[in-house]
Chains A and B, each alone.
Chain A
Amino acid sequence: MRVPPDWYLILALILFVLGGTGLLVRRNVLVMFMCVELMLNAVDLTFVTFSRTLDDLGGQAAVFFVLVVAAAEVVVGLGIIVAIFRRRTDATADDAHILKG
């Protein structure tokens, strides 16, 4: 017996909500970034589930590109974080208000 797609979708929904809640709750910029990764993984899971369910390769191709974009996003985001840490010594998101100029 196969696992019905609903279970994967519910799991992806819970993972997405956990990631979004963590993004709002946490103050550490690095942990907020990890929560963004959680949300991206939830969407990946949804893509793969619908790819299997609808017998369409587009979902898996989309996940492939999401992986690439996530890698690029992490590189640039961590670069920004390192640049901020050059000036500030603390790790909270509120310190990014210096970006206001």
Chain B
Amino acid sequence: MSGVGAGVSRLVGTLGLLAYNGAHNPHAEHLAVGADWAVYLVGAGMILAGALGVILLRNPVHCALFLVITLFGVALEFVDESADFLAAVQVIVYAGAIVILFLFVIMFLGVDRKDRVAKEPHPAQRPLAFALGLAVLILVLVLAGFGTWSTGAHSLSGPLYSGNGPADDVGRLGQTIYTRFLLPFEMTSALLVISIVAAVVLARGRHRVAAEMSGEEQAALRDGATPPGDAAGDRPPAPVGAGGPVAADPEEKP
């Protein structure tokens, strides 16, 4: 572990980004001295362990749970960098909503089974993918070590830290979003509405498939009668997914 730490330290030293270190506002610190390193290391461990779990584990449910670990690690790093609002939003939106959505779809579709690896359409793809990932990692590190970094002018959104006392990133972020970024903010609300409508349209489909109907409706469909149109209110939703009903769908065969 100490050898790895020394290697990482050398790597960091070669990155040439250390010039930034003197540029901080001392008011940016809001964690106790020494605690930021502990928070960083714990968060980094959670991030890497979670990411490796997402990649390597076979069961999608386990992947989703390890994704939660990674997202919590990223939230820890946000806290470490004084981005309190983003840390809270990270936990609420990502870990609380998005992963739940993932888990819900996994359970709903009944796909909590292993990858089908028996039939491998492209045998060389996995080694090539690992090689490509390693190449990108090394390439970016080399570029960061040898390249010249320039950041240009500051954006219009204002400084993050000013005045005395600890950073008030919640107030500043809110003020910026509701003034400078008002139009993008309104556009994101439109985007959310569009995506909700799109999700409903995609998930429902234009016509109900046979697996979506109840038993007597399927029988009526087989007998050639038109199924009752919008009588969906007085019947429980038919189970969809889990392979069986969909595979038995007569419209499956083209």
Chain B binds chain A: yes
Chain A residues proximal to chain B, CB less than 8 Å: 1-11, 13-15, 17-22, 24-28, 30-31, 33-35, 37-38, 41, 44-45, 48-61, 63-65, 67-76, 78-83, 85-92, 94
Q: A1 to B21, alpha carbons, bound, how many Å?
A: 11
A residues within 8 A CB of B240? 86
Pick the contact of B116: A44, A86, A92 (CB < 8 A). A92
Contact partner of A48 among B15, B83, B113, B198, CB < 8 A? Answer: B83
B interface residue numbers (CB < 8 A to A): 8, 11-12, 15, 17-18, 20-21, 23-25, 28-29, 33-34, 36-37, 40, 44, 47-48, 51-52, 54-55, 60, 63-64, 67, 70-71, 74, 77-78, 80-83, 85-86, 89-90, 93-94, 97-98, 101-102, 105-106, 108-109, 111, 113, 115-117, 121, 125-126, 128-130, 132-134, 136-137, 140-141, 144, 151, 154-161, 169, 172-173, 176-177, 180-181, 184, 188, 191-192, 194-196, 198-203, 205, 209, 211, 240-241, 243, 246-247, 252
A31 CB contacts on chain B under 8 angstroms? 54, 60, 63
B29 and A60 contacting across the interface, CB-CB below 8 Å = no
CA distance A53 to B70 in the complex (A): 23
B60 contacts A57, CB within 8 Å?
no
Closest B residue by C-beta to A70: B98
**Chain B contacts for A94, CB-based, 8 A:** 121
Assess the A79–B54 pair: CB atoms within 8 A: no
A4 touches B12 (CB 8 A): yes
- Name the contact of A63 in the complex, choosing from B18, B86, B155, B203 (C-beta under 8 A): B86
Given A33-B102, A82-B203, are A75 and B51 also a contact pair (CB < 8 Å)? no
B154 touches A85 (CB 8 A): no
Note all chain B residues with C-beta closer than 8 A to A55. Answer: 23-25, 28, 159-161
Task: Provide the bound-state CA to CA distance between A44 and B20, in Å.
Answer: 19
Q: Are A11 and B47 in contact (CB under 8 A)?
A: yes
New A-B pairs, 19, CB < 8 Å, besides A19-B51, A76-B198, A91-B109: A2-B21, A6-B12, A6-B15, A10-B12, A10-B141, A13-B137, A18-B48, A25-B126, A26-B55, A30-B106, A41-B70, A49-B81, A57-B169, A61-B157, A67-B89, A68-B191, A71-B192, A71-B195, A75-B195
